[in-house]
Structure 1
Amino acid sequence: MSRGSSRRARRMMKQMGLKMDELGDIERVIMQGPKREIVIEGPAVAHLNIQGQSMYQVVGGTVTENAVEGGIEVPEEDVLLVAQQAGVSMEKARAALEDAEGDLARAILMLTTG
């Protein structure tokens, strides 16, 4: 892109309310979900502000995807509620909640129906 067209593009972006900043010091981007984790090493990252809305653009880099191991984190009050409703120990209630992926109703049904 020539110098003139680059300047014109920046001017047009400003008129549309778009502001973009390159974040050159980013070494790794990690995106975590309940069942997987995506790691991007050495990406080019830009922060865009479009009429007050923030957005991050991640480009390139080495991508690795991992399955997340281990159970979900179950709040103590959920364990207590399931234990009381199903009439079981806290340990059994916690195990049922982990098997039910935190779903209270499903955990109680699992414990009370067999």
Structure 2
Amino acid sequence: MFGGGGGFDPRKMQQMMDQFGIDLTELDAEEVVIRTPDEELVFTDAEVQKMDAQGQATYQIIGSPESRDRGEGDAAGAVESGDSGSSGIPDSDVEIVAERAGVSEDDAREALEANDGDLAAAIADLE
């Protein structure tokens, strides 16, 4: 299927991928971050490939991540400027939501916290 002699023929591989509707693209990613409840896995200089097949996109990351703890009050989760402290919601985001939705900053902060920091969702909830 992939040629003889223990190797594979890249041309045949591409033909098979085309036949099955698979498109493989190399992405020029600068950084990839995977967040779990307990940690962040940060890949810098990773090789990233995107495979589109039958309407589904699959990403493959090749590299060695740096692991960062995501515990409560951890500085790794804080935004550099304007961080409000324990909530992790930047003051600038609170101001944007409060202004757009016409509510107090306390109400805006509550909406942001309820929507995991998603500005658009917080504004939609308040309107």
TM-score range, shorter chain: 0.5 to 0.7
The one-letter amino acid of 1:5's match is: D
Which segments of structure 1 move beyond 4 Å, counting only runs of 4 or more?
none
SS in 1 for 2:15: helix
Alignment partners' CA distance in 1, 2:14 and 2:54: 15
The one-letter amino acid of 1:7's match is: R
Q: How does 1:3-82 map to 2 (within 5 A)?
A: 5-23=9-27, 25-60=28-63, 62-70=64-72
Total equivalences in the alignment: 70
Q: CA RMSD in A?
A: 2.4
CA drift at 1:51: 0.8
Structure 1 unmatched runs, 5+ = 74-114
Structure 2 unmatched runs, 5+ = 1-7, 74-85, 88-127
Percent identical among aligned pairs is 31
Deviations 1:6-57 (A, max 9, x none): 111101011112111111x211110011211101111110110011111111
The one-letter amino acid of 2:26's match is: E
